[in-house]
Structure 1
Amino acid sequence: MNATITAAELAGELTGDRPPVLLDVRYQMGGPHGRAAYEAGHIPGAVFVDLEAELAGPPGSGGRHPLPDVEAFGAVMRRAGVRHDTPVVVYDGGQGWAAARAWWMLRWTGHPGVRVLDGGLAVWEGPVESEVPAPATGDFQPVPGAVPLINADGAAELARTGLLLDARAGERYRGEVEPIDRVAGHIPGAVSAPTMENVGPDGRLLPAPELAARFKSLGAEEAPAVGVYCGSGVSAAQQVLALEVAGIPAALYVGSWSEWSADESRPVATGADPR
Structure 2
Amino acid sequence: MTLRRSGEILEALAEVIENPDPHPAILEILDLEWTRDGFTELFDFDLPPFASYYLTIGPVLGGAPVDFLRGLLAAYLRPELQPAQPDSLAFLLRLLALLVHEESWERANAIFYEAMGPWLSTYARAAATFAPPGLRRIGSLLGEVHQTWQEEAPPASALPYLLRHAPPPPATDERKDLVDFLLSPVASGLILPRSQLIRITHQRELGMRPGGRRFSFESLLDASPETTLAAVLETVEAQLLWYRHRSSPIDQWWGERLTQTHVVVNALLKQAVDAGTPH
* Fold in common (TM above 0.5): no
The two structures have a TM-score, normalised by structure 2, of 0.24
Q: Which structure shows the higher strand fraction?
A: 1
Q: Which structure shows the higher helix fraction?
A: 2
Larger Rg belongs to: 2
The two structures have a TM-score, normalised by structure 1, of 0.25
